[in-house]
Every structure is written in structure tokens, then in C-alpha cells.
Structure 1
Amino acid sequence: MGIGATAGVAAVGGIALTAQASSESSDTSGGSGASSSDALVFDTDAYTTLTTTITDADGAEHDVEYRFYKAITYVSKPVDETYQSLNVSVPVKIDGTAVDATDAPILFANSVGGYMPSSVADATGVGGGGTTGMPGGGAASSSASPSASASSGSGSGTGSGSGEVASGGNGMVNGQGEMVSLPKLALAAGYVVVEPGARGRTLKNSSGEYYGVAPAAIVDLKAAVRYVRFNKGRIPGNVDRIVSSGTSAGGALSSLLGASGDSPLYDKYLKAIGAADASDAIFATGAWCPITDLEHADGAYEWNWGSNATSSGSQVDQTVSKELRSQFAEYQASLRLRGLGGFGALTARNYDAYLVEQYMEPSATKYLAALSDADRTSYLAANTFITWSGGKAAFSWADFLTHVGARKKSTPAFDAFDLSAGENNLFGKGTTQARHFTLYSLRHESGSSARLDSDLPETLRLMNPMPFLVEKANPKRTKHWWIRLGTKDSDTSHTVSANLAAAANGLGDEVSHLYYWDEGHGANSDPGDFIKWIARISGHKAKRK
């Protein structure tokens, strides 16, 4: 079946699905649109041999020869093949030496940004896919919210939500301002790389129905994992060592993928698109600045950034901000989480001390220790709120907030009163582009008797990793977590990733959670360490033929 063909309309759980017409073609991408699992058998011969030079995180160049399998449809009843397809890259030679990737870990790198559609169909090689917001079998809405067109996580400051557009290897930037491609780094390390596309919130069919709204993106990524596992022995790599990665909304989805492995809550959605009969559990999760826990994100944002002015220098409505902060306090207490490092119970009253002690001061200390004496002296002179003593940085939470400066978003940051946030679009339904998904915002606009649409509680649960870690621990969750974000990232609250880390740590999972000092949204200052972490937790040792 050709990429992008669409026909027919169905609905599952209130979400419009555009079913593919069943037809055969000479396309060797692996998807035929048939209901049989035969359509999901990976074609081991449908590759192109490519060569590229990849610079690793230490600055060394490597000549890599690899097999590139392009735009393979990963479900048998696709809604839109432009997005429901994946690329596979398998290393063959590194620096002229043949490598055996049969048992190598698999990096499962999504490039979702802003919960927008992500396609790998036009990629010409590894790390070259993941463009978002592209019209495919359906078209991106022409009336999309401001955040749908924002670039690189800039947001609009008006409740813009997760507004970045990511492309090419997760859209990350290192400490030197250079783009980071985890797929390329993984390939140069001898890993197999899978880059999946996924539907996103702006996709709209000819009937005006939004078919990429929640939970489409996570359903697609689960289906892509199932495709890889179903093809064990055909797709090279160890399917029991799949490591997910993603940034911002992609980081949220990566977290959710790890937390919700094999949950039956997704079964009807996976069945509707013809997902393979296989596990969708993954081995490890890499998440950078995850925009997640959305139904509680407004309160968390105000707790963190409520006192900070906007870029225009004005304060947000403090009545609204305080009400939302109160909601956060109740929610945080309900989680009953304990901080890393033996900190104790995490509450709204002590979370500022926890963030400073566990993350912010160690982050500043690492940054300052790496500077030359002259540069450190200059930095400290320009940032007098930091006390530097005994090789350690110390400061208050209030001074840290002043240092960060303007908040990125207005209030509410995610469920905007005027429905302008990307998340309002994410929870759209049918021909309705955007909906309120919190009672607070809904009742602010529609009165105290208003009720959320009946489908929203289930949909919200399907989009949030926290219930799978806190309410009842999912035994099939990943047990390895790599979580990162910048200290100056005000696209969401710092408590969001810290809660995620605390929840996983409380279950006994391995958690590596750090903040990058003075970095913003989409930062990735230690990509080489992530690649080494994969090797360590997976027990991988490169095999030379």
C-alpha cells in the first residue's frame, strides 16, 4: 500500500479513526494494510546500504556502513501510513571493521514534539526523520493553536503548552549549542536504531475529524514496539533490550511507554489499528524535559513559576495562580512520594528545599567546577546569589527563581481558559479541535456545574505515566530510567520530572535524574553518557566479526 492513502471512517473510544483501503502494491516497506499478521513480517531484504561519518560525543569521527530500512508500516490496519511507519538502521561496519548487531541493544528514538504528528517517511538516513506537523494522508489543521507552529520549544507565553517542533534525532541541543542526534551516536556505538513516526494532535481528515488526538501517539508508539518484538530474529538487535528516547512531548511519551508496558488499557486501541500480537514492554526509558502529568501540570507550574513575571514583565493573575498552587499541594500530598537521597516525604512545603538540595545546587556545582578559575570567578561575579565555598555552590530557591527570570507560559499554562494551548488540542475529539481537560479551567469558563466529557478520565489516564507507578505499580514497566532537563526550562514545572523520578525510585527502579545548569528546553549536555549507560544496563559489548 502506498504511503498516505486513506479511506473510510471508524471510531474507537470516541476517537475518529481513518481506516486504510486494502490494496497490494510493490512497496516493500512491510505494511500491506491486510488484517493478517503476515502483513507485519519484516522484509529482511528491503534495505539500502548507506555510509556516513558520525562524530561521537568525545569528538572522534567514525565511518559507519549500515543497512537502512525505510518507512515500514508497523500496523496492519493503519489510519495514516505517513505517520504509522518506522525506519530501522543496522550497523554493518564501523571504521572498516565488520560488526555483529544480532544481540545489540535497540534505541527506539521517537521525534515527537508538541504532541504534533511525526513522520519518518522522507528520511534519507539514520537520524534524518521525525519531522513534525507534516500533512500526510490527512492534513494538519489550518486552524491549529499557536503552539502548533512554535519552534524549538519556544512557546508563545499565552498558555502555549508543549509547543516545540522537533526534527532530526529528537531535536536536542548540547551545552555548546550544537544539535545532538542520539540515533547517530547509537549507530556509531554498534546499536540498532528504530525511529518510529506517530500520529499527532493536528491531523484532520476530509470530514473534519481530528484523528491524531490522545491517545493516538502513545498507541502508535506501542504498536511500533510490538512490531519490533513481533519480528524478533528478523530485525537485528535484542528485543528484550529496547531503550526508548524522546524530548519534551516525546519525553513524556517515552516515559509513558516505559511506565505502561503491556497494560491492557490500550488493547482496544491497538486492536483497532492492527497492531502485532506481541509485547509492548521496553527495557529502559530515556526522557528529556518530559511534558507529562498534564491534568496536574497547571498547579505544578504555578507552584514552581507563579511568582515569576512573564517576558513582558507583568505578573499573571495571582488569584488564579494561588488557586492552582493549592491544587498542587493536595495532589502532591496524595502521591505520598519520598525524595531521592533519603530526603523523606515530598510536599508542597518542602519541595523547594528538595529541588535545591537534590538537583539545583549539585547542577551548579558541577557546572562551576568544570570552568577555569578565571571563568568561574567571572561567572560568580555576575551571579552573586551563589555562594561558592569548599568547591560547592549554595543558594536559595527564591534566588534561583530570580536567576531563571521570565516564565515561559501564562496561566493556566496547559489547560488555557481560551483553549489556545496545544494540550487543549491534544484532548480534542471528533470535529472538536480543543477541549478543557481539567475541571478548574472548564468551570472557570462554563460555571460551577460543568462536567468534563465522559471519555476524558480514561483518556487522561492513558496519557499519564504516574498512575502506572503510583496507584498500582505496573510489573511490566521499565526498571531503568534516564531523566534530564535544564534548570532554566520553564516549559513545565521542575516537579514533574522530579515526581517521575521519585515514583520510579520508590519502586526500586534504577533512576539517573540530573538537571543541566543554565540550560533551557530540549537540552542534552551528556549524550555520550546516555550511550554508555545503555551499554552498561544492557550488558552490551560490541561484537566484531
Structure 2
Amino acid sequence: MGIGAAAGVAAAGGVALTAQASGDTSASSSSASGSLVFDPDAYTELTTTVTDTEGTDHEVTYHFWKAITYVAKPVDAAYQSLNVSVPVTIDGTAVDASDAPILFANSVGGYMPSSVANATGIGGGGTGGGMVGGTPSGAPSSSASAAATAPGANGDTNATGGALSTNQLLALAAGYVVVEPGARGRTLKNSAGEYYGVAPAAIVDLKAAVRYVRANKGRIPGNTDRIVSAGTSAGGALSSLLGASGDSPLYDEYLEEIGAADASDAIFATGAWCPITDLEHADGAYEWNWGSNAAGSGSKVDRTVSKELRAQFAEYQASLKLEGLNGFGTLNARNYDEYLVKQYLEPSATTYLAALPDSERATYLAANTFITWKNGRASFSWADFLTHVGARKKTAPAFDAFDLSTGENNLFGKGTTVSRHFTAYSLKNDTTGLTSKRPDSDIPELLRLMNPMCFLVEKANPNRTKHWWIRLGAKDSDTSHTVSANLAAAAHTLGDDVSHLYYWDQGHGANTDAGDFIEWIAKVTGHRTRTRK
């Protein structure tokens, strides 16, 4: 679907990007001297070609502000900076973006650091984390080093922010303002060997970036009351958390420490693709979902561990008391498979198959006989769906590994300690020689700061976003399907507007309806692109 009807401009869904500078004004950091005042004149004018969802090219000229430090006391400005892109003409027609929605698109993957310092334009040259045990992206400060010994993310990688480069180009061609924030990540280490991007650094940075944008209302073009976040994988988790925790005082101390602007960090809407979140319960959720599937690469899964973790999930799910969408009733470990099949998976398969030409549909159904196709609808069992997906991506536990080997273990590192356990179960079963009986005393608060569910279920945050766009690939076994479904159910239970669906036969980081996302932004914000006369 195109975005023309909703946004007033043709849809933009491609990733073609050919930008060249046409101005003589260079971008600069507005806060090089500690100021948090955005300089409206410090932009470069660029032109890019964007291919829309219908295959049509559109020429967009935009103003580009590069690597603006968004805090007064940065720990590492190479990561604590943002880019701003504002369209000025689309296909030769001047547009007025002064009141346009602001797409706030982070490129975090694997809870790794993300920098915009090397960007050459919107979606071009900026780098997100996500390499397993790799080098932090961007241009770190002289005191930073790549933590080569930091754990990977147990297969949870998303090196470029996945869906987001398409979303950013789409948004620009629709006449929206695009803000691309960098953020610290778990592998950053200073000369003293201290990890300075572990939890909760990434969410604190993104909140600080939102505060910078809102504090510069009237200087940064766009409607600062209509900020829509977007992120994929760990970036999707952070996007969800940003929306759920708006203006929570729990982060004030951290924000003051880095000199964040004195402004709101609440956002209007959240876009989250395959969010890797609710980490303290993620191991149990993963085993409930994928416990019967053999692991890939010849890895073996301890069935006793899997069974014990599934029991943990059952207890946790019952405690949530969440109601499924469309009047399904209370979700629990016994009925969640039915819920996923009826609410998400069969509709996903139906949409996919209905869009195929008759001959291609017949070929697909012949190769996937577990699907019953009747009266234009697909049906199948949960067990057959699991067989269709095949090998699971991760071993057990998937997130808090007994040997402290995952990226999530590194996320909860502290000081010079590269990794820590964040669940009592994994600490009890530790294989590295630890003798502690319970996680460190600061872990519970860090988990709260990193989990959007805490702001939706424990006590509803009144300043949360009220609009949610959540997507997941049906074959994504980087996380449990219940994670995004619980997030959607929690928001729905509170009366929020929720758009949540799964992409059939797609894996981690998929984004097959980017044009629809741009239309959704126009719908929920009430925006119509304005042209200049």
C-alpha cells in the first residue's frame, strides 16, 4: 500500500539513496560548548532519490544537521549525538515540515553502541551495533575501546537497525522530519577498563535525545508533540521502553548526570519491530515457545532446564492477568498457543497466501501441506507451525546464560565486570565459578529501568504513548512470540491504540509493510503534508 492518500505525497518504500551536498553550510555540534540550543542554520542541503512501494522514484531535497551532541555533559559525544533531516522539496514541490510528525529512529541492535558520527545523509553512513562480539560502531572517543572480549548476543544481531533505513527514507519522502539518535551500548569500555554503555545507558541516552528535541521546539522543524519512535530488535525494545516510560522520574538521576535538557521525554507513538525485551522473563518465554524445537548448528538443549524455565513462564504469565485482543480472555501458558495461532499466525498466513497468484499459492500449499486452505483462509495447528519454523536460534537459557556468554549478560555488566547474571535461576546454575546466592542488589532496579512491561502492568504510566505499532516475523526465533504479544496485550488492556501483526515466513528484523507504517503515522497524528506557496 502506498502512503500517498494519507500523507499527501507518494509512498516511499525503497532503499535507493543517492545524496549529494548542494549547500556550503557545514553541519556542526550545537553543544560543543555545553549549549543545548539547536542552530537552525547549521545544515547541509542534500538531495536523495527514494523509490516508493509502487516502484516510482521521488526526488527529495532536504536539510541535514549532522552529529549534534544532545547532552551538556556527554560521556562519549560520538554516541550521544543525533542527526536531523528535514524535507524542503519533494518532486520539485516545496513542502512545509514545520508542523510535521517527527520520526525518531534509533539503529540499536544487540544492545550494542550506535553512532551517527559518520553519516553522510539520512540512512546513509550511520552505523548501528549488533555484530557478535564485534567492534562498536561509529567514531568513539579516544578513551573508548572495542570490548573484544565482550560476549555476543546469542545470535541476536541486527547490525544496521534492520527495518529502519527504509522507514527513514519513507518518512522523509512523506514530508516528515527524521531524527536519528545515537546511543551508548554494552561493549564500550574506557581506558580504565570500565564498561560505560551497559544498562541503563542506552535508554537514558534516547530519553536525553527526546528531551533535546522537545527543548528545541520552534528551532528544530516538526511537531515536538508528535514524536514517533522506531527501532528493531534491541532497538525495538528500546523504542517500546521509550514509549512506555515517558517522563518517569526513575530516570531523573541518570539524565541529570549527563546534562540532559530540562524537558519532557514523553513521545506520541511507538514503532517496534521484533523487540528483544522483558529480559528477566525472556528465558522462560523462549522455552515455552521454542522448547520443543531442536537448536541449530548441532547445539543440544538441556530438556530439564527447558522444562524448568517453561514452568517459570507459566507462573509469570498468570501473574500478568492480561486479556488477549478481540475478546480472547485471560492469557495463560495453557491457551497462549491457541491465541497466537488464531490472533496472529493464521491471519498472517492468510494475508500472505491471498496475495499470491493462484498458481504460486497452489505451489506453496503443495509444499506446505500442514496448512488447510478453505474459503480463502489458512488454518493449522501450533505443533505443525513449530515444525514449519524448524530449528530454534538459541540454546537454553537463551538470554541469561549459565556461562555468562550472551550479550544480555554483558548488558548488565558493571564497572570492570564484563557480564553478570540477572536472574536467580541462572545464577544458581552458574558454570563460571560464582558462589553468590542471589543477583547483585542493583539488578532489580536495572531490570525495571529496561523493561517496558513495568510501566504498563505493574503501574500504568500516565505519560506513556497511547499508540503502538508492533511487528514480528513469524519465523523469528531470536525471541519468543509471547514477548511482543504480551506488550500488545498490556497496551490494549490499558485502552491504548494497538496495531500488531506477524509477517508470515519472515525472520528477525523483517519489515514488509513500511508504507503502511508511514500511513499509520499520518493517521494517528492527524497530519497532512503541507506545501509552500
With normalisation by structure 2, the TM-score equals 0.91
Moved more, 304-313 or 271-280: 304-313
- Corresponding position of 1:30: 30
1:162 aligned onto 2:156: yes
8 Å Cα contact 1:33/1:78 also seen in 2 = no
Shift of residue 130, structure 1, vs aligned partner: 3.2
> What letter matches 1:31 in structure 2?
S
Moved more, 345-354 or 52-61: 52-61
SS of the residue corresponding to residue 178 of structure 2 reads strand
> What letter matches 1:442 in structure 2?
L
Gaps of 5+ in 1: 1-25, 148-159, 173-178
> What letter matches 2:236 in structure 1?
G
SS of the residue corresponding to residue 51 of structure 1 reads strand
SS of the residue corresponding to residue 528 of structure 1 reads helix
SS of the residue corresponding to residue 400 of structure 2 reads coil
- Corresponding position of 2:392: 407
8 Å Cα contact 1:40/1:276 also seen in 2 = yes
1:360 aligned onto 2:364: no
CA separation in 2, counterparts of 1:461 and 1:314? 32
- Corresponding position of 2:192: 207
- Corresponding position of 1:59: 55
Written as runs of structure 1 = structure 2, the 5 A alignment for 1:95-244 is 95-128=91-124, 129-132=126-129, 133-134=136-137, 136-137=140-141, 138-147=144-153, 160=154, 162-166=156-160, 170-172=161-163, 181-244=166-229
SS of the residue corresponding to residue 53 of structure 1 reads strand
CA separation in 2, counterparts of 1:399 and 1:430? 46
1:304 aligned onto 2:289: yes
37, 42, 46: which is aligned to 2:38?
42
CA separation in 1, counterparts of 2:375 and 2:428? 52
> What letter matches 1:141 in structure 2?
A
Shift of residue 361, structure 1, vs aligned partner: 0.3
8 Å Cα contact 1:185/1:531 also seen in 2 = yes
- Corresponding position of 1:466: 453
- Corresponding position of 1:542: 529
Shift of residue 76, structure 1, vs aligned partner: 0.2
CA separation in 1, counterparts of 2:185 and 2:297? 31
CA separation in 1, counterparts of 2:434 and 2:31? 48
8 Å Cα contact 2:49/2:58 also seen in 1 = yes
SS of the residue corresponding to residue 71 of structure 1 reads strand
SS of the residue corresponding to residue 244 of structure 1 reads strand
Shift of residue 455, structure 1, vs aligned partner: 0.6
CA, structure 1 residues 347+97, in 2 after alignment: closer, same or farther (shift >3 Å)?
A: same
CA separation in 2, counterparts of 1:131 and 1:349? 38
8 Å Cα contact 2:27/2:43 also seen in 1 = no
Shift of residue 29, structure 1, vs aligned partner: 1.1
Shift of residue 163, structure 1, vs aligned partner: 2.9
Gaps of 5+ in 2: 1-25, 130-135
CA, structure 1 residues 357+448, in 2 after alignment: closer, same or farther (shift >3 Å)?
A: farther
Shift of residue 391, structure 1, vs aligned partner: 0.6
- Corresponding position of 2:439: 452
Shift of residue 428, structure 1, vs aligned partner: 0.2
Shift of residue 310, structure 1, vs aligned partner: 1.1
Shift of residue 146, structure 1, vs aligned partner: 3.1
Written as runs of structure 1 = structure 2, the 5 A alignment for 1:320-335 is 320-335=305-320
8 Å Cα contact 1:161/1:423 also seen in 2 = no
CA separation in 1, counterparts of 2:398 and 2:84? 37
- Corresponding position of 2:367: 382
CA separation in 2, counterparts of 1:163 and 1:186? 25
CA, structure 1 residues 318+542, in 2 after alignment: closer, same or farther (shift >3 Å)?
A: same
Shift of residue 171, structure 1, vs aligned partner: 1.9
1:496 aligned onto 2:483: yes
SS of the residue corresponding to residue 362 of structure 2 reads helix
- Corresponding position of 1:346: 331
CA separation in 1, counterparts of 2:185 and 2:221? 29
438, 441, 457: which is aligned to 2:426?
441
CA separation in 2, counterparts of 1:486 and 1:181? 17
Residues 473-516 of structure 1 deviation map (CA, whole Å, 9 limit, x = unaligned) = 00000000000010000000000000000000000000000000
Shift of residue 333, structure 1, vs aligned partner: 0.4
- Corresponding position of 2:304: 319
CA separation in 1, counterparts of 2:246 and 2:152? 33
CA, structure 1 residues 43+447, in 2 after alignment: closer, same or farther (shift >3 Å)?
A: closer
CA separation in 2, counterparts of 1:382 and 1:27? 54
- Corresponding position of 1:23: none
8 Å Cα contact 2:186/2:197 also seen in 1 = yes
CA separation in 2, counterparts of 1:385 and 1:162? 29
Residues 51-87 of structure 1 deviation map (CA, whole Å, 9 limit, x = unaligned) = 1111122222111110000000000000000000000
Shift of residue 451, structure 1, vs aligned partner: 1.3
> What letter matches 2:158 in structure 1?
E
CA separation in 2, counterparts of 1:268 and 1:293? 23
Shift of residue 523, structure 1, vs aligned partner: 0.2
SS of the residue corresponding to residue 414 of structure 1 reads coil
Pairs aligned (count) = 495
CA separation in 2, counterparts of 1:145 and 1:161? 11
CA separation in 2, counterparts of 1:33 and 1:355? 52
> What letter matches 2:128 in structure 1?
T
1:430 aligned onto 2:415: yes
